[in-house]
Amino acid sequence: MKLGAMKPQRRNRLLLILGLVGGLGLALTFVLKALNSNINLFYTPVQVIAGEVPMGARVRAGGMVEAGSIRRSDGSLEVAFIVSDLAGAAFEIRYTGILPDLFREGQGVVATGTLSQDGVFFAEEILAKHDEKYMPPEVAMALDATRQDPLQP
């Protein structure tokens, strides 16, 4: 379909709509770019370490629970663990309460709470992040045994 073959009235309407959508799209792109950090749900370990997180304010921070870092206290629901970005940056989270079912080592978590002066994040709520991989339990067990991921050859 060539634009020239269209009736001028229809062509003008098409161009008007395309212009409108294009212009709004451009404006929206700039708005989203400007709001980028506000749209992110949580601060990453790098941002926490770099001091980008306002002290004492209620914020969300997240990362992967480091293997072997979970310390539970006897007789209470208090738990402390390290979250990292698997690339060097890490910080400690302390939390008292019931953890979601998916909480475990190597799992992504998003914590809501406040960062203290000494860099420890005191969480009021812990959310577990689920990744995009799905598999039956047998496959996961076999995978644990051989340490090979069948989904990523």
Partner 1 sequence: MWRWFHQWGSPKFFYHRSGVLIPVLALASGLILGAGVFWGLLIAPADYQQGESVRIMYVHVPAAILAQSSYAMMAVMALISLIWRLKIADAAVQTVAPIGACITLLALATGSLWGKPMWGTYWVWDARLTSTLILFFLFAGVLALRNAAGQSQTAGRAASVLAVIGLLNLPIIKYSVDWWFTLHQPASFTLTDRPAMPFSMWGPLLMMVVGFYAWFFLAWLIRLRHELVKRERRSDWVQQMMKQ
Residue 54's SS3 state is coil
Residue 137's SS3 state is helix
Q: Minimum Å distance from CB 51 to partner 1?
A: 18
Q: Does 86 sit near partner 1 (CB under 8 A)?
A: no
Q: Which of residues 20-79 bind partner 1 (CB under 8 A)?
A: 20-21, 24-25, 28, 32, 36, 39-42, 44, 62
Token pair of 58 as six digits: 């209620």
d(CA 141, CA 149): 11
Q: Minimum Å distance from CB 125 to partner 1?
A: 7
Nearer to partner 1, 4 or 136 (CB): 136
Sequence letter at residue 70: I
Q: Does 135 sit near partner 1 (CB under 8 A)?
A: yes
- Residues within the interface to partner 1 (CB under 8 A): 10, 13-14, 17, 20-21, 24-25, 28, 32, 36, 39-42, 44, 62, 99-102, 110, 125-141, 151
